[in-house]
Structure 1
Amino acid sequence: MHPAGSIFLAVAPNGARKTKSDHPRLPLSAAELADCAAACREGGACMIHLHVRDAAGRHSLDIDAYREATRAIRSAVGDSLVIQVTSEAVGTYTPGEQMSMVRGLKPEAVSIAVRELFSGQAPEQEVASFLTWAHAAGIVMQFILYDAADVRSYLGLRRRGVIPSGRHWVLLVLGRYTGGVSRFEDLLPMYLAWTAEPGLSAGIPWSICAFGQREVECAAAAVTLGGHVRIGFENNMSLPDGRVARDNAELISCFAGVARTLGYGLATADDMRRLFA
């Protein structure tokens, strides 16, 4: 679903695990994230998917670190980017801690992996209450789905009313468990599962992210099926021709050019906010 023929282009600039040894321009500090956000906004992004680190460079869900990064980004770009924080566990945080972070921070948007939140470590009713609260609070949730089984789990949770309808979207992660290089074929079983129940999936936007050099190729294919796109160093650092990108903004600009060539416009942050209002 593309609002007014436009796609949501998000940047995922760092992720939970990569370091400066992977790329010297991987943004980690609040100031670096703000500079990255401004450059990617100019390249066509309307959202930044935000990870923060602790003093030792490790993945963190620290509320103060998120607030510091958010202030820096807002100072650099105002409201021209939606800031989506991650709640990713990375084998460290429990569902209770993930939900506590969201309750304490009250971000504009957050991503949550269905298989993490519904791992059985927290009672389903507790998770359902949290999702109802977040929906009422106006927080835009993005549910991360790693394979067709995750898609079916999401649809089942929707069918039972555990996940409220509206004000959310999903992210289909291509090739997370297939060797680190995504292919368009990775999308097909997930897309078929997604479209199998149009009564639940219709009207819910979906996006993809992909690993490795074929990231842009996968993204271009997804938009032709009605999807949106997340691009960035979290998943890939290579341009389609194999060269290492100078920075996240070069990856964003590369895909933005492909999207325009295909006839798609790029949505703004306000377009996204209106869709999820």
Structure 2
Amino acid sequence: MTPTIISCAVTGGGDTVGKHPAIPVKPAEIAEAAIGAARAGAAIVHIHVRDPATGSWSMSLDLYREVVNRIRDSGTDVLINLTTGVGCFFFPGKEDPGVPGPGTCMCSPYERVCHVLELRPDICSLDLNTMWINDRAIINPPEHIAEMAQLIRSVGVIPELEVFDSGDVHLGRKLIDSGVLQGPGYFQIVLGLNYGASATTRTLMYMRELLPPDAVWGAFGIARHSYPMLMQSFLLGGHVRVGLEDNLYLKRGVLAPDNAAMVRKAVDLITALDGEPATPAQARAILGVRRG
């Protein structure tokens, strides 16, 4: 059995600050959460940064640099995965929906990946979705995705292709077939987000069947779907993800004390079924990630 990669998404950029006391906000907190997750058994840590003053999402290169340097200086070999998902939010204006309303953040492809080009992590996310999420539209034009992919590829970083519904997989396959992305690809299937793919076994199996042959893939569920979908992904041969970006609870009614506790639960579930959590070195080999 191939070892199972555990990713930990330690903070995200959502409105969870104030809803949970352990949401990391400052760069030192985010780095410490990532290091703790790595020591608990995560092979990959997925990083967003937040404005230290407000707790809201940020695209600051300086904040990313501090987090990345702290993780690298810690001595852990964990793979660093930086988000590029910020910069595609559109809120329709109240009076004229064609005019961007407050909260809109649409950026050029270069602006969305400049921290990746500068810091050269092992992996970065590349969202393939255009969809409606709660009160905002997420807009990722295929031409922007292609430009981001080419920039990411130019510095040797592996893109994690985040797919939220079946059409996203078809787009990913088209980009691979056209040579924009290297195949067979590393796909992350997102389940249970409002207006995206449902968090069910049947949906996960369907999404998996759409992937390119031999693609490396993982899946995760949002909120209460987190651990059920972790087990479904593991049982179907995929990798897994946990963390306070996706879910605040360790079990029903019990807030997770921190990201490390969520990783430890994932380790326990996998090993209880005779699975083997991947080490960072094994994850690098599975994903074909360059070292350092």
TM normalised by structure 2 equals 0.81
The answer as to whether partners of 1:181 and 1:212 remain within 8 angstroms in 2 is no
The one of 176, 201, 218 aligned to 1:158: 176
| Cα distance in 2 between the residues matched to 1:139 and 1:180 | 27
Residues 75-105 of structure 1, C-alpha deviations (whole Å, 9 max, x = no match): 33x2421110001125124242213343333
- One-letter amino acid of the structure 2 residue matched with residue 60 of structure 1: S
| Cα distance in 2 between the residues matched to 1:193 and 1:94 | 30
1:172 aligns with 2:197: no
The answer as to whether partners of 1:13 and 1:248 remain within 8 angstroms in 2 is yes
1:234 aligns with 2:252: no
| Cα distance in 2 between the residues matched to 1:15 and 1:184 | 25
1:119 aligns with 2:151: no
Residue equivalent to 2:56: 58
Aligned length: 263
RMSD: 2.5
Distance 1:216 1:62, change over 3 A: same
Matches within 5 A, 1:266-277: 266-275=277-286, 276-277=288-289
Residues 192-237 of structure 1, C-alpha deviations (whole Å, 9 max, x = no match): 322xxxxxx2232111121122311111111111110110111111
The answer as to whether partners of 1:180 and 1:212 remain within 8 angstroms in 2 is no
Moved more, 87-96 or 105-114: 87-96
Q: Percent identity?
A: 26
| Cα distance in 2 between the residues matched to 1:178 and 1:34 | 32
- One-letter amino acid of the structure 2 residue matched with residue 177 of structure 1: N
The one of 99, 107, 110 aligned to 2:121: 107
| Cα distance in 1 between the residues matched to 2:225 and 2:56 | 28
1:16 aligns with 2:13: yes
| Cα distance in 2 between the residues matched to 1:274 and 1:64 | 30
The answer as to whether partners of 1:181 and 1:214 remain within 8 angstroms in 2 is no
Residue equivalent to 1:94: 107
| Cα distance in 2 between the residues matched to 1:207 and 1:118 | 23
Question: What is the CA-CA distance between 1:180 and the residue it aligns to?
Answer: 11
- One-letter amino acid of the structure 2 residue matched with residue 31 of structure 1: A
Question: What is the CA-CA distance between 1:186 and the residue it aligns to?
Answer: 3.8
The answer as to whether partners of 2:35 and 2:76 remain within 8 angstroms in 1 is no
| Cα distance in 1 between the residues matched to 2:256 and 2:163 | 27
Moved more, 38-47 or 140-149: 38-47
Question: What is the CA-CA distance between 1:161 and the residue it aligns to?
Answer: 2.0
Residue equivalent to 1:140: 158
Residue equivalent to 1:249: 260
Distance 1:131 1:234, change over 3 A: same
Residue equivalent to 1:197: none
| Cα distance in 2 between the residues matched to 1:181 and 1:192 | 15
- 1 or 2, which has the higher helix percentage? 1
Matches within 5 A, 1:193-204: 193-194=210-211, 201-204=212-215
| Cα distance in 1 between the residues matched to 2:108 and 2:194 | 22
The answer as to whether partners of 2:189 and 2:219 remain within 8 angstroms in 1 is yes
Question: What is the CA-CA distance between 1:181 and the residue it aligns to?
Answer: 8.5
Residue equivalent to 2:206: 189
Gaps of 5+ in 1: 195-200
Residues 88-133 of structure 1, C-alpha deviations (whole Å, 9 max, x = no match): 125124242213343333322100101369833x7x3x75455345
